[in-house]
Structures are given as structure tokens and as C-alpha cells.
Structure 1
């Protein structure tokens, strides 16, 4: 009797790397951690959910991580995460477009292939001087 094919669970290596990035920020760069978030644009979704999210503003190609702190003359940092080789994937044309558009708007943008590259990027970014801006009243004043 033939055995059915064994289904192996797909390992989301990019997600594993990204969790390490947030843990590193939490421990080493607390201020970055408190101002960072993940933009959940990827993943497999039911078609109805995907349509709803698109109507709510989800857009393909938006970088994975945003650090909303101004440093080094930039307004913030956007990072497109990829898993380390040999599990990494190419940066899509939509992702490249977003990175270019954000760089043109005054943001620091990087592609990091794994946790080690991210550590170097966030260490460098957090070492830059705070970008000075004019004072604006709070949104709810």
C-alpha cells in the first residue's frame, strides 16, 4: 500500500528573522522599538478579506518595518525584510517602487537580508543625530 505524500509545513523564515529584529530593538534600541511597527501587507488571505483590506488602504509593496523616528536628516526608516540566503527572495518591482518613492519623500530606506543586516542598519540609524524640525501643535490640541 502506498503512503500518502507527506505535507511539510512551510517555514516562514522572513517572519522568524523579523521577530528577531523586533526583539533586538526591544533590548538594544528601546526608543526605536517603541516607535516601530510592522506593515502586514503579505501573507495568504481569504479573497473576501483581501478585498476588504485593499479597500481599507493596504497596498502591495509597502516595506515591512517602519521606524517612526527622524534621524540623520531623514523623517524615518523603512525596511524591506528578506530572509537570509539560501531562503531569501527577490525584491519585487512593487517593493522597489515603494522604496524609491519613500526615499524621494525624505525617508531612509533599506533592504535587509536577515536579522544580521537589520542589526547593522538599526545600529547605524539610531547612532545618527536626531533630525530637527519646527514645532507643530499636537493633532488633538
Structure 2
């Protein structure tokens, strides 16, 4: 995890500086683990940057490091309406909604949920760093 809150781009730069990237979430179990491990870091419920964006084509989400979503190799299985194999939603209700040009993905820990949300990339949150 980044040591301080950062914009999405600054969090991605911090991840690269230690040989990693903002995390891709490959399974529901991984998503739950990330939320449980970092969603209440320091005793505060918080949102966390993950490595998803839709800045190239609005509504077409992708993993910034170029990997697929892990669900059968379907690259776009992280866009609006995406579900985990058990049929539960990846995104929080009504998300992603691009309210105010929101192009960066997060785990929405601030409302005590492990579901995803889109935010303005200039907002500042902790970033979850993945290193292979």
C-alpha cells in the first residue's frame, strides 16, 4: 500500500518506483481479502485505489497494467454491470457513473463495502500496490 494518500497517477508512480503497479483484482476472494486487509487501515474506513481506468473510452474499463480481469480471460469484465462468477456485483449500486469525469477505480471501503466505485483520478486515497 502507498505510504500516504495520493492521486491515482501519483499512486501508480509510487507503485512503479518499488517495482509494482496498482493492483489488479482477479477473483472475488482476492477482492474480499484486499478489502478486509486494507479497507479499514488504521481503524478508519477508507477508499483504496486499484489499477482500473476508463480514461481511453468512457465506460470501457481496463486494467492499467494490461492484464485481463482473471474471469475467464475477458478483458472488459470490469465494466459497468460486471459480476463475479457467483453472480454478485463487482461495482457498488449505481456505479460506475462517471459523475464529474470519474475515470479511476477504487474499492469503496469508506462505506464499509468491498464493491468498486469510480472516482476522479485527482482524488487522494491510498493505493494498493501489487508486485509480481
TM-score normalised according to structure 2 size: 0.31
* TM-score (structure 1 length as normaliser): 0.30
* Structure number with higher strand proportion: 2
| Structure possessing the higher radius of gyration over alpha carbons | 1
